[in-house]
C-alpha cells in the first residue's frame, strides 16, 4: 500500500497524499557500473510520490536514504555538452551581475566536479569552497585555480562555521528528504550575516507534471518543487525571497534569497498550492502509464522489424526511461545508450544493463533511430550524428504523439 507521511517535510503542516508509484527502480542513476552483471542486479528501491495540498511540495515517501552511496563513482556532470556549457556560462554571468558576486567569498553545496564554483571564482574574481563527496581531485577544473578549495564530503552542521557572502546549491536539494531541516541549517550557518545571498537550483516539477515526464522521476530525487513550494520553504526557513524563475527550457527552477531579520511561521509563510497543478496530479499516473505503453509498443515494433534503436543520454533520464519500459538488455530492443561524457563510456546502465558507448560507436552500429533523453539537446545530437555520416530520425522523449 502507498505510504502516507504524517507531515510534509517541506512545511510541517499537512500529510502528503500519494498519487504515483513505481515498485522497482535503481536506487542510483548516475553511479558508474563496471559490468553488465552488476548492472542487471543493481540495488532497487521504490517510488511513492505524494503531494502536500498546503504548500504544493511533492515527496517520495518510499525513499530509502540508507541505500544512497554518493562517492566519486557517481558521474553526474553535463559539462561535456556545448548546449549545457553555454547555459552554465550565461547563468554564471547573470548571477554575478544580479547578486554582485565580485571579489567575494562563495560556498557551493553539492559542487559535483567543481565546474560551477570554479567559473564563479574565475569570472567574478572570487574565492570559494565547494562541498561534494563525489568530487574527484584529479579532475579539478583549471578555472578558478587556487582560489577554490574542495572538500570531498557532504555539507552539514560540521561545516556551518565556514562563512560566505554567496551560497550556491545546484541540483542537490532534490536529493534531501527533510528539506526544511536542511535549508534551516543553511540559514543557521549564515547567522547575522544579513548581506549573504543564497542561490538554489532544482528541477521544476511544474514542467514534469505538465509534460507527464515519468523519465524525470528517480529514487534519489526524493523532493520535488514548483515555484510556490520552493518559495514557501525558504520563507519558513527564515529567508526573504528575492526572485524565483525558471530556465533551460523550463527544466530548472531557481531561487535567490537573503536572510530575513524576522522569520514568518505557519500560514503567514505559505503560498497556496496551484489548483491547476492539483488537477494535473490526479491524472499523472494514468497518463504516464499510457505514454510508457506507447514507447514500449514503438520499441517492440521496431525491434521485430529488425530496426536498431539507441537512446542518447545515459544519465538519470535514460535510466528512468529504460526502467519504466522494462528494457532489460537481454530481452528488450534497445541494446546501447550513447553519451558524449568520456567518463561514462564503457560502463553499463543500472537496472537494465545496456552498454554506454560514445558517438563514434554509431558509425559502425548504424542505428535506425535515436531517442533523445532531453529534447534541448536535439540539435546537438543531430550535428554529432552528421559528423559520423548518419542521417537518422532523432525522437525527443516528449514526442509520444509522434509514435502513432
CATH of the domain at 383: 3.40.50.720
Q: E strands along 230-317, which residues?
A: 239-247, 252-259, 309-312
Cβ atoms of residues 29 and 316 within 8 Å: yes
Q: Is it the case that residue 112 has pLDDT exceeding 60?
A: yes
Q: Are residues 146 and 247 in the same domain?
A: yes
Q: Are residues 241 and 291 in the same domain?
A: no
Q: Please, is 6 exposed, middle or buried when counting C-beta atoms within 10 Å of its C-beta (0-12, 13-18, 19+)?
A: exposed
Domain CATH number, residue 224? 3.40.50.150
Q: Are residues 236 and 334 in the same domain?
A: no
Lowest mean pLDDT among 53-67, 126-140, 171-185, 267-281: 267-281
Q: How confident is the model at residue 268 (pLDDT cuts 50, 70, 90)?
A: low
What is the reported pTM? Answer: 0.94
Is 311 in a helix, a strand, or coil? strand
Average pLDDT estimate for 303-322: 96
**Rg (the chain; Cα; Å):** 21
Q: Are residues 185 and 317 in the same domain?
A: no
Cβ atoms of residues 387 and 61 within 8 Å: no
Residue 380 pLDDT: 97
What average pLDDT is seen over the chain? 92
**Would you say residue 39 lies in a domain?**
no
**Would you say residue 103 lies in a domain?**
yes
Q: Is it the case that residue 127 has pLDDT exceeding 70?
A: yes
Percent of the residues in the chain that have a pLDDT greater than 70, as a whole number? 93
Residue 44: which of 27, 67, 68 has the closest Cα?
27
Q: E strands along 143-251, which residues?
A: 148-151, 166-170, 197-203, 223-224, 239-247
**Would you say residue 268 lies in a domain?**
yes
Q: Are residues 235 and 317 in the same domain?
A: no
Average pLDDT estimate for 151-169: 95
Count of CB atoms situated within 10 Å of the CB of 264: 14
Q: How confident is the model at residue 3 (pLDDT cuts 50, 70, 90)?
A: low
Q: Are residues 255 and 297 in the same domain?
A: no
End-to-end Cα spacing for the chain: 34
Q: Which of 276, 296, 330 is the last residue of a domain?
A: 276
Residue 2 pLDDT: 44
Domain count, the chain: 2
Residue 146 pLDDT: 86
pLDDT tens across 236-264, in order? 999 999 999 999 999 999 999 999 987 66
Q: Are residues 96 and 239 in the same domain?
A: yes
Average pLDDT estimate for 65-74: 93
Q: Which three cell numbers stand for residue 397?
A: 522523449
Residue 247 pLDDT: 97
Q: Please, is 114 exposed, middle or buried when counting C-beta atoms within 10 Å of its C-beta (0-12, 13-18, 19+)?
A: buried
Residue 64 pLDDT: 93
**Would you say residue 144 lies in a domain?**
yes
Cβ atoms of residues 164 and 107 within 8 Å: yes
Q: Is it the case that residue 404 has pLDDT exceeding 60?
A: no
Q: Are residues 167 and 209 in the same domain?
A: yes
Q: Are residues 249 and 289 in the same domain?
A: no
Q: Is it the case that residue 280 has pLDDT exceeding 90?
A: no
**Would you say residue 42 lies in a domain?**
no
Q: Are residues 247 and 310 in the same domain?
A: no
Q: Are residues 117 and 174 in the same domain?
A: yes
Tell me how far apart the alpha carbons of residues 103 and 401 are, in angstroms, rounded to a whole number.
50
Q: Is it the case that residue 41 has pLDDT exceeding 90?
A: yes
Residue 347: which of 26, 24, 27, 37 has the closest Cα?
37
Percent of the residues in the chain that have a pLDDT greater than 90, as a whole number? 85
Q: Are residues 176 and 223 in the same domain?
A: yes
**Would you say residue 27 lies in a domain?**
no
Q: Which of 237, 253, 276 is the last residue of a domain?
A: 276
Residue 1 pLDDT: 39
Average pLDDT estimate for 202-219: 96
pLDDT tens across 75-99, in order? 999 999 999 999 999 999 999 999 9
pLDDT tens across 171-198, in order? 999 999 999 999 999 999 999 999 999 9
Q: Please, is 2 exposed, middle or buried when counting C-beta atoms within 10 Å of its C-beta (0-12, 13-18, 19+)?
A: middle
Domain that holds residue 369: 285-403
Q: Which of 250, 276, 302 is the last residue of a domain?
A: 276
**Would you say residue 325 lies in a domain?**
yes
Residue 54 pLDDT: 87
Tell me how far apart the alpha carbons of residues 230 and 243 are, in angstroms, rounded to a whole number.
11
Tell me how far apart the alpha carbons of residues 238 and 258 are, in angstroms, rounded to a whole number.
9
**Would you say residue 7 lies in a domain?**
no
Amino acid at each position: 500500500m502507498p505510504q502516507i507521511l504524517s507531515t510534509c517535510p517541506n512545511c510541517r503542516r499537512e500529510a502528503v497524499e500519494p498519487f504515483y508509484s513505481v515498485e522497482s527502480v535503481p536506487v542510483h542513476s548516475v553511479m558508474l557500473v563496471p559490468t553488465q552483471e552488476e548492472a542487471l542486479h543493481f540495488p532497487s528501491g521504490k517510488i511513492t510520490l505524494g503531494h502536500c495540498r498546503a504548500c504544493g511540495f511533492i515527496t517520495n515517501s518510499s525513499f530509502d536514504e540508507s541505500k544512497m552511496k554518493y562517492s566519486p563513482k557517481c558521474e553526474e556532470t553535463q559539462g561535456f555538452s556545448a548546449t549545457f556549457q553555454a547555459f552554465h556560462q550565461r547563468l554564471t554571468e547573470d548571477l554575478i551581475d544580479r547578486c554582485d558576486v565580485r571579489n567575494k567569498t562563495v560556498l557551493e553545496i553539492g559542487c559535483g566536479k567543481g565546474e560551477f564554483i570554479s567559473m564563479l571564482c574565475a569570472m567574478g574574481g572570487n574565492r570559494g569552497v565547494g562541498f561534494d563527496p563525489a568530487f574527484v581531485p584529479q579532475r579539478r577544473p583549471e578555472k578558478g585555480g587556487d582560489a577554490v578549495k574542495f572538500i570531498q564530503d557532504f555539507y552539514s552542521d560540521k561545516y556551518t562555521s565556514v562563512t560566505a557572502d554567496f551560497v550556491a546549491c545546484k541540483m542537490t536539494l532534490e536529493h534531501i528528504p527533510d528539506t526544511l531541516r536542511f535549508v534551516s541549517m543553511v540559514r543557521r550557518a549564515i547567522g547575522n550575516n544579513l548581506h549573504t545571498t543564497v542561490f538554489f537550483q532544482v528541477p521544476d516539477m511544474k514542467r514534469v507534471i505538465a509534460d507527464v515526464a515519468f523519465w524525470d522521476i528517480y529514487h534519489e530525487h526524493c523532493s520535488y518543487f514548483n515555484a510556490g513550494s520552493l518559495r514557501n520553504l525558504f520563507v519558513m526557513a527564515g529567508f526573504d525571497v528575492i526572485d524565483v524563475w525558471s530556465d533551460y527550457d523550463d527544466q530548472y527552477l531557481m531561487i535567490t534569497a537573503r536572510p530575513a531579520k524576522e522569520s514568518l511561521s505557519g500560514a503567514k509563510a505559505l503560498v497556496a498550492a496551484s489548483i491547476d497543478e492539483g488537477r494535473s496530479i490526479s491524472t499523472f499516473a494514468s497518463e504516464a502509464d499510457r505514454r510508457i505503453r506507447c514507447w514500449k509498443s514503438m520499441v517492440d515494433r521496431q525491434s521485430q522489424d529488425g530496426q536498431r534503436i539507441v537512446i542518447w543520454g545515459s544519465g538519470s533520464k535514460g535510466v528512468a526511461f529504460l526502467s519504466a519500459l522494462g528494457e532489460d538488455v537481454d530481452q528488450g530492443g534497445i541494446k546501447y545508450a550513447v553519451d558524449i561524457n568520456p567518463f561514462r563510456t564503457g560502463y553499463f546502465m543500472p537496472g537494465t544493463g545496456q552498454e554506454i558507448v560514445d558517438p563514434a560507436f554509431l558509425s559502425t552500429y548504424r542505428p535506425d533511430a535515436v531517442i533523445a533523453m532531453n529534447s534541448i539537446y536535439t540539435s546537438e545530437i543531430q550535428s554529432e550524428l552528421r559528423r559520423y555520416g548518419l542521417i537518422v530520425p532523432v525522437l525527443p522523449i516528449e514526442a509520444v504523439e509522434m509514435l502513432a
